[in-house]
Amino acid sequence: MKLATLHDGSRDGRLVIVSTDLSRAVHAGDCAPTMQVAIERWDNVVGELQQRYVALNKNQLEDAFDFDVSQAMAPLPRAWQWLDGSCFLNHGELMQKAFHLDPIADADTIPLMYQGAGDDFLGSRDDIRLPSEAHGIDFEGEFAVLVDEVSMGCSTAQAMEHVKLILQLNDISLRALAPREMKTGFGFVQSKATTSFAPVAVTPDELGAAWSNARINLPLKVEWNGKWFGHPHGGEMNFGFDELIAHAALTRKLSAGTLIGSGTVSNADRAAGSACISERRAIEMIEHGAPKTEFMKFGDSIRMQALLPDDAELFGSIDQKVVNASIK
């Protein structure tokens, strides 16, 4: 099943069911007006949502309409909790080598995770409005899961039953602001701009065999200003989403609607390219002694999409531009 949220003038938008090919949609408001309501009442509403999804794909619903991706908000426009990991060890190892950093203790056995801001997510076509190019504007291609309520102490074996939807995102980062925040030990605030999401969230069954070992086993295609930047594969994730959920729930329960991210998708094979500029710069530092690639400028565009083996779009695409926030 595929779900999205459309603008309707409210803060949380209106939940819609989207056809497999992303061409048609139907409102889900009679059983779940918003994504947050759907997640909180998942067991009670999933059956009816699924029935409407099947009927939509068979062109049996008279109230169906064309799905306009430009009207899509983030699938969950705001979240009670947004937790992002750093689960591709290749990415961290490149950063350590490039910047001559000491390895993080137990990084290969205990997931790295920070608590981000979930109050104002961007849709896939929303401009990325930022105050200064000097902040080091970067994109980060990631995957995420949306869970229902998770009890404190949830095990990895129990965790997968809580994954209701899978999403793809651009974790926009401001690299010039990050070093100081990391050194303080208090985590990211200014250096993590508003996160944007692909238009559609999908149930795990939509991935077929690509959803295995608690990982999204698909390449993430990234284009910067219309040029290939990378297609790293999600299967190289060191920690699965089951481990991330259990890690986050070790000492507290997770509210329904908690989002958990994978961190930047990264592969050891350099031919796969990268899903963020910072990683490419790290590779340049290692190979050439200094970075050559600059960060994003106002007017730049970023496009991300995950394709199934038959080249069908899974989540729809993220397609955004960076603009000067001071210009109305």
pLDDT above 70 coverage of the chain, percent: 100
**Encoding tokens for residue 276?**
């963020």
For residue 242, CA distances in Å to 172, 237, 266 come to 25, 12, 19
Strands 128-130 and 220-224: unpaired
The rounded distance, in Å, linking the Cα atoms of 286 and 288 is: 6
Pick the closest to residue 305 from 314, 317, 293, 297 (CA basis).
Answer: 317
- Backbone phi and psi for residue 291, each to the nearest 5 degrees, phi listed first: -75, 145
What digits encode the pLDDT tens for the residues 268-326? 999 999 999 999 999 999 999 999 999 999 999 999 999 999 999 999 999 999 999 98
- The answer to whether residues 139 and 170 touch, using CB atoms and an 8 Å cutoff, is yes
Domain boundaries, the chain: 2-71, 82-324
3-state class (DSSP) for residue 155: coil
Give 82-324's CATH code, choosing from 3.30.360.10, 3.40.50.620, 3.90.850.10, 1.20.120.160: 3.90.850.10
* DSSP per-residue codes, 92-134: HHHHHHHHTPPPPTTTTTS--EEEE--S-PBPTTS-EEES-GG
* 110 torsion bin: left (phi>0), alpha (psi -120 to 50), beta (else): beta
Place of tokens 């983030």: 74
What digits encode the pLDDT tens for the residues 19-50? 999 999 999 988 999 999 999 999 999 999 99
pLDDT at site 190:
74
Q: How far apart are the first and last CA of the chain?
A: 38
Pick the closest to residue 151 from 38, 247, 249 (CA basis).
Answer: 249
228 has which bridge partners? Answer: 223
**Encoding tokens for residue 98?**
């490039």
Q: What is the CA radius of gyration of the chain?
A: 19
* 273 torsion bin: left (phi>0), alpha (psi -120 to 50), beta (else): left
What digits encode the pLDDT tens for the residues 121-160? 999 999 999 999 999 999 999 999 999 999 999 999 999 9
- CB atoms under 10 Å from CB of 184, counted, come to 9
pLDDT at site 328:
67
pLDDT at site 72:
98
Pick the closest to residue 73 from 169, 170, 198 (CA basis).
Answer: 198
What digits encode the pLDDT tens for the residues 221-263? 999 999 999 999 999 999 999 999 999 999 999 999 999 999 9
Mean pLDDT value across residues 178-188: 79
Cα dihedral 241→20→38→218 (10° resolution)? 10
With both helix axes pointing from N to C terminus, report the angle between 89-99 and 277-288 in degrees, rounded to the nearest 10. 50
